[in-house]
Amino acid sequence: MDTITKNLLAFIEKSPTCFHAAETMKTKLAENGFTELKENEKWKITKGGQYFVTRNDSSLIAFTIPAGEMKGMRIMASHSDSPCFKVKENPEIETEGHYVKLNVEKYGGMICAPWFDRPLSIAGRVIVREPETGKLRSVLVNIDRDLLMIPSLAIHMNREVNDGYKYNVQKDMLPLYGDAASKDSFMKLIAGAAGVPEENIMGHDIFLYNRQKGCTWGASEEFLSCSRLDDLQCAFASLEGFLAGEKKHYMAVHCVLDNEEVGSGTKQGAASTFLYDTVTRVHEVMGYSREDYLIHLADSFMVSADNGHAVHPNYTDKTDPVNRPYLNEGIVIKFNANQKYCTDGVSAAIFRNICQKAGVPFQTFVNRSDMAGGSTLGNISNTKVALNTVDIGLPQLAMHSPYETAGVRDTEYLIKAAKVLFA
Ligand code: ZN
């Protein structure tokens, strides 16, 4: 396995939820000399400095300030969340005095079938009350072992299962947690992972995740499969390119936002003021005027990086007749006339230029004209921070499965393009 793929899979394994993804990036940024800023404290920012700030512990913006005159901003945005199942309040459901299963609901639009018959576990954050001070504190938890399973119904009890099945999340998707002896132990287990007694847990945002580790495969190991490639593959590439890039004349911004999978309309999502607040606050703290900010904005460029669909070998008719991305053949530039993707002639030209400078291949994606596509964060973010933006992504298969597939060579292409963008 090449080093980039190895590091990508390690990054994803350390990031079972959006909270862990933010934490993984924070650790990497701190190791690289970045200073953490808090939204509820005064910021001290100096020329040549490098900083990061988080909101809700699930969205992160890292940025660097040029040592000389600032000419504008270079932003790469991706998302930290992936479709999964969220554990509800009062999660345990006892079944006939013999089983305990967990009550869950959907987060985002996942493919349900591949969640069955594979080891799952739980990760997320809990809000605990400190016994001494009574203060509330957020603690990350990850039950790092095979803990849960959603068993399929035997084919003998549903002979038509292979003719298509409509999943009812409340009935079909509840994971089995234990036998009768496990009753009332689930929240104790979570509390134990947080290092506090159960009664000190005041709130939680905990999710199921797939335990299967990432791997490379194929005739020449040219493919990789892993959970959450959408969009941690882009978040990883953005961070690597951001750290390696020269970042001389522009404010470089690595931005990873939560809640893309549920429409971005939260306090920490792309529709929020997080990016706007951060970049305007930097300008204010550095003594720039409102007009300086607007001049910088007009000379700025954003890459909205969210994975795209490669041509599927078994469903080749699902892709546009001409614009047909394949795995390992480069970064996908996404177009949509109705501006679900922000790419236009200008931003496509700028990004093609970046790819050519970086020496990396690019491909184009447009939905079939008779199929509605997905959405992403670029156009939503543009309603708050309006600047020239291109929507791109890495080509992948099985988007929103808990085990997605991509090409081993494409990650490096995006790292190289990000380096050129930030330079
Ligand atoms: Zn995505």
Taking only the tens place, the pLDDT of each residue in 299-342 is 999 999 999 999 999 999 999 999 999 999 999 999 999 999 99
376 CA distance to ligand 1 centroid (A)?
6
Helix axes 345-358, 410-422, angle to 10 degrees: 110
The first and second tokens of residue 355, run together, are 């790819």
261 CA distance to ligand 1 centroid (A)?
7
Q: How many other CB atoms sit within 10 Å of the CB of residue 243? A: 23
What does pTM read for this prediction? Answer: 0.97
List Cβ<8 Å contacts ≥24 apart for 187-191: 187/91, 189/143, 190/122, 190/126, 190/141, 190/143, 191/126
Task: With a cut of 90, say whether residue 221 has pLDDT above it.
Answer: yes
Strand locations in 344-419, DSSP E? 362-366, 388-393, 395-397, 404-407
The separation between the first and the last C-alpha atoms of the chain, rounded to the nearest angstrom, is 29
229 CA distance to ligand 1 centroid (A)?
9
71 CA distance to ligand 1 centroid (A)?
30
Q: Is the dihedral of CA 149, 154, 158, 163 positive or negative?
A: positive
H or E stretch covering 88: strand 84-95
Q: How far apart are CA 50 and CA 32, in angstroms?
A: 9
101 CA distance to ligand 1 centroid (A)?
30
- Of 75-84, 145-154, 190-199, 377-386, which gets the smallest average pLDDT? 377-386
Kindly report the average pLDDT of the chain as a whole number: 97
Residues 223-232, buried b or exposed e (16+ Cβ, 10 A)? bbbbbbbbbb
Task: With a cut of 90, say whether residue 374 has pLDDT above it.
Answer: no
Q: State pLDDT tens for residues 248-297.
A: 999 999 999 999 999 999 999 999 999 999 999 999 999 999 999 999 99
The first and second tokens of residue 252, run together, are 């470089």
Helix axes 18-31, 229-244, angle to 10 degrees: 10
Backbone angles phi, psi at 130, to 5 degrees: -65, 125
The per-residue pLDDT for 132 is 85
375 CA distance to ligand 1 centroid (A)?
8
Q: How far apart are CA 332 and CA 323, in angstroms?
A: 10
For residues 99-107, average pLDDT = 98
279: β partners: none
381 CA distance to ligand 1 centroid (A)?
14
283 CA distance to ligand 1 centroid (A)?
30
H or E stretch covering 416: helix 410-422
Cis peptide before 172 (omega within 30 of 0): no
Q: How far apart are CA 192 and CA 70, in angstroms?
A: 49
Q: How far apart are CA 397 and CA 410, in angstroms?
A: 13
Confidence band of 372 (pLDDT split at 50, 70, 90): confident
378 CA distance to ligand 1 centroid (A)?
11
CA distances for 250 relative to 5, 71, 297, 300, angstroms: 29, 5, 11, 8
